[in-house]
Amino acid sequence: MSNSSDLPFSFGLLSDVQYADKDTVGKRRYRDGLVNLENCVDDFRTKDLRFVVHCGDIIDGRGGVENSRKDLIQVLDAFSRLTCEVHHVIGNHCLEVPREELVQRLEMKQNYYSFSHGSWRFINVDSMAFSVCGLDVAEPAYLQAKEWLDQHKGDAYPSARAWNGGLGEQQRDWLKTELAAAERVGQQVVVFSHHPVLAESSTAGHLLWDHQEVLTILDQSPAFTAWINGHDHAGGFAERNGRSFLTMPAVVNSDPANNAYATVDVFADRMEIHGVGDVVSRTIRVATK
């Protein structure tokens, strides 16, 4: 069994800051995204957090790479005031900045990776690894993803949209390996993604392109406990086979008087989510084997 002597511990959780220096459109309060993040950081700094996770779409994108880069730098300046580790997940809007530069600026080990604390393993997946975003139209990866889109458009595949993406075969194989490794050492697994994998926790139009293949992998793993994502700004929650699927409400949609983030207390048998503003507090329990 994995050593759990450092339990309990806490981490911070938020998604879709989606800041841009531009006017509000519909429910997306782009400038307030940064205000909300700064208020969230102020609160996180008062707590003993092991790390913070942001589930993608750190910026919205604004008139090309240069302006999008300026917005990204402002958001990262706010995150830099945290004294704990910060783990970012790649979202579709993040790729308004070139992928290689984005990964470097977000200080990611690579575009997908895992890290452990005690008896828990946290897996950050790249749900845009197989997509048409952030690629030159002449690249083989773009052409392959575009072919998939063209073949799957229609009512039978509501998530076949350019703003969605998938893990792809290589990353799915890696995910299997990570889950198996966690099982061998007695760890519980939480997966952080930008895109949801279960329609009941979001909508069918927001799902990973390869959500069915990924769900099959998750269903077969005794170590898997929860999938946490952003992307669908309304948020959502569902359970499947005793496992939890949580969609975080978007920071960018929240009035600064409310905000949308959480602190999560992690124990050997559960995670207690303490929501702020638009985030509902709830307990996620390890499924009975």
Output 108-113 pairs: Cβ under 8 A, ≥24 positions apart: 112/171, 112/174
CB neighbourhood size of 70 (10 A):
13
In DSSP terms, 121 is beta-bridged to: 116, 189
Each residue's pLDDT tens digit, 27-48: 999 999 999 999 999 999 999 9
Q: Phi, psi (5° rounding) for residue 175?
A: -60, -45
pLDDT in tens, 188-216: 999 999 999 999 999 999 999 999 999 99
Residues of the chain above pLDDT 70, percent: 98
Q: What is the pLDDT of residues 79-111, one digit of tens each?
A: 999 999 999 999 999 999 999 999 999 999 899
Look at residue 4 and tell me whether its pLDDT is greater than 80: no
Residue 2 — pLDDT band, cuts 50, 70, 90? very low
Q: Decide: pTM greater than 0.85.
A: yes
Cβ 240 vs Cβ 198: under 8 Å: yes
pLDDT on residue 289 = 61
Other Cβ atoms less than 10 A from the Cβ of 115: the count is 13
pLDDT in tens, 138-184: 999 999 999 999 999 888 899 999 999 999 999 999 999 999 999 99
pLDDT for position 1: 39
Stated as kind and residue range, the H or E segment containing 217 is: helix 211-219
pLDDT band at residue 5, thresholds of 50, 70 and 90?
Answer: low
The single residue listed with the structure tokens 């309990």 is 8
* Of residues 272, 277, 275, 278, the one with CA closest to residue 286: 272
**Digit-coded pLDDT (tens) for 268-282:** 999 999 999 999 999
